[in-house]
Amino acid sequence: MTSTRDQIIETTCNLLEMQGYHATGLNQIIKESSSPKGSLYYHFPGGKEELAVEAVRRVGDIVLERIQQNLALISGPAEAIRSFIMNIALNVERSGFRTGGPITTIALETASSSEALREECQRIYTAWQAAFVEKLRAGGISQDHAVDMSVMIIASIEGGVILCRTGRSRKPLEQVAQAIGEWVKHSL
Amino acid sequence: MTSTRDQIIETTCNLLEMQGYHATGLNQIIKESSSPKGSLYYHFPGGKEELAVEAVRRVGDIVLERIQQNLALISGPAEAIRSFIMNIALNVERSGFRTGGPITTIALETASSSEALREECQRIYTAWQAAFVEKLRAGGISQDHAVDMSVMIIASIEGGVILCRTGRSRKPLEQVAQAIGEWVKHSL
DNA sequence: GTCTATACACTGATAGAC
DNA sequence: GTCTATCAGTGTATAGAC
């Protein structure tokens, strides 16, 4: 069944987000997902790298949906994006600063060591960017301007997550949320 | 002599920036620094973690000086910061997208697994922030506002580096430089 | 498809000669 | 202070029974 496969992927998603790629061992994955090692290599013949690509793809798609749903809750782009970033801050805090930025660590770790993982991370960042572009365009911003702004938005969120986890505080992301909110509002 | 110790630290700085903490092994460090393992444990009895703390401290201090020097080159805060970020973009590209964000990967990897490394990274982020605050204050911005803005600046740079290395392009950091520059200018 | 046992390289770390 | 040899543990990956 796909259930075993799914459980391995889900466990991998969580461990990769908390620990990163190189700190997460296959032994830990099979232990926490209660799956024997034989099954892992049956479902993912490419081993750790193939499994990680699959995990990154899954968590990336889930987060994309979450972005779209959150941005749809509030009509104005500025307030919608500000509110979305505030939510991230709360979630990072709630996890005890152990999660947040589900693909950030993997992106950095594997950017120059695994082409497959780098490409998958790049694909996801592009998809996330498109979701912000769509929201900004709906607010009347031009395509080119919306693309530039979305890069800035994603960069400041990713960096904000790093500062929150390092400083054990939700404040950096709250400051980012406020700054981005006002900046987008002023650009409308 | 401190020469051996220094060479080990310098090599560790470079490897940590390119590969991260868990992907960098002590064997690689002693090999590339031409230092035997015995010397490593003589100079760093605390092993890998103590060595990494020392390396993070060193690269953090060097980058702090570079920030201060760069910001001093141009009198206006907006243009000075914009120019500084553009320089980072060029350096990331010049390295073949293998370096940039010297402590970013370590900060993420060790935020919830090594208190010593997390505290050192946090100390450095605070020092970098103070450098930007000073520059913004010199431009007439209030203390509170300058602190908030500096968090935003550092977050967007850190995130921008991630997007550049993942996408193998200097463009994200150029977009961040442009956006931050205009944003600071408008805040003056 | 599932599971166990195992191969083999490599990790961080240590002991002790020099 | 410097260097080599080596430890115990763990990493990814594989073979083969069921």
Tens-place pLDDT, residues B65-99: 999 999 999 999 999 999 999 999 999 999 999 99
For range B100-119, the mean pLDDT: 98
**pLDDT value, residue A1:** 54
**pLDDT value, residue B12:** 97
CA of B1 to C1' of C17 (A): 21
Domain locations along chain A: 56-187
Superfamily of the domain at B56-187 = Tetracycline Repressor, domain 2 (1.10.357.10)
**pLDDT value, residue B3:** 85
Q: Is the CB of A140 under 7 A from strand D?
A: no
Q: Give the other-Cβ count within 10 Å of B115's Cβ.
A: 11
Cα B69 from chain centre: 15
Cα distance between residue B105 and residue A175, in whole Å: 22
Cα A15 from chain centre: 14
Low-confidence ranges of chain A (pLDDT < 50): none
Under 8 Å between Cβ of A23 and B22: yes
| Cα four-point dihedral sign A128, A111, B17, B72 | negative
Tell me the pLDDT band of B38, cut-offs 50, 70 and 90.
Answer: confident
- Chain D: nucleotides below 7 Å from protein CB are 1-6, 10-17
Distance from CA of B44 to the nearest CA of A (A): 22
Cα distance between residue A28 and residue A34, in whole Å: 10
Residue among A109, A155, A168 minimizing CB distance to B163: A155
Specify the residue for token string 């496969």. Answer: A5
Asked if the model's pLDDT at residue B47 lies above 80, the reply is yes
CB contact under 8 A, B152 and A179: yes
**pLDDT value, residue A38:** 87
Q: Is the CB of A48 under 7 A from strand D?
A: yes
Distance from CA of A168 to the nearest CA of B (A): 9
Asked if the model's pLDDT at residue B1 lies above 60, the reply is no
Asked if the model's pLDDT at residue B126 lies above 90, the reply is yes
Q: Which amino acid belongs to residue B105?
A: T
Distance from CA of B170 to the nearest CA of A (A): 12
Q: Give the other-Cβ count within 10 Å of B20's Cβ.
A: 24
For range B149-178, the mean pLDDT: 98
Q: Is the CB of A25 under 7 A from strand C?
A: no
**pLDDT value, residue A123:** 98
Per-residue tokens: A66:
């979450």
- DSSP letters, A63-126, are HHHHHHHHHHHSSSHHHHHHHHHHHHHHHHHHTTSS---TTHHHHHHHTTT-HHHHHHHHHHHH
Nearest to B160 by CA among B109, B84, B46, B106: B84
Percentage of chain B lying above the pLDDT 70 cut? 99
Under 8 Å between Cβ of B181 and B161: no
Residue among A107, A148, A162 minimizing CB distance to B158: A162
Stated as kind and residue range, the H or E segment containing B34 is: none
Q: Which amino acid belongs to residue A7?
A: Q
Per-residue tokens: A69:
């749903």
Average pLDDT, chain B: 96
Q: Is the CB of A7 under 7 A from strand C?
A: no
Q: What is the DSSP letter of A151?
A: H
CB contact under 8 A, A166 and B23: no
Cα distance between residue B78 and residue B177, in whole Å: 10
Q: Is the CB of A30 under 7 A from strand D?
A: no
CA of A25 to C1' of D10 (A): 9
Asked if the model's pLDDT at residue B2 lies above 90, the reply is no
Residue among A98, A104, A109 minimizing CB distance to B112: A98
Collect all residues with Cβ–Cβ distance below 8 Å to A37 and sequence separation of at least 6.
A26, A27, A30
Asked if the model's pLDDT at residue B27 lies above 90, the reply is yes
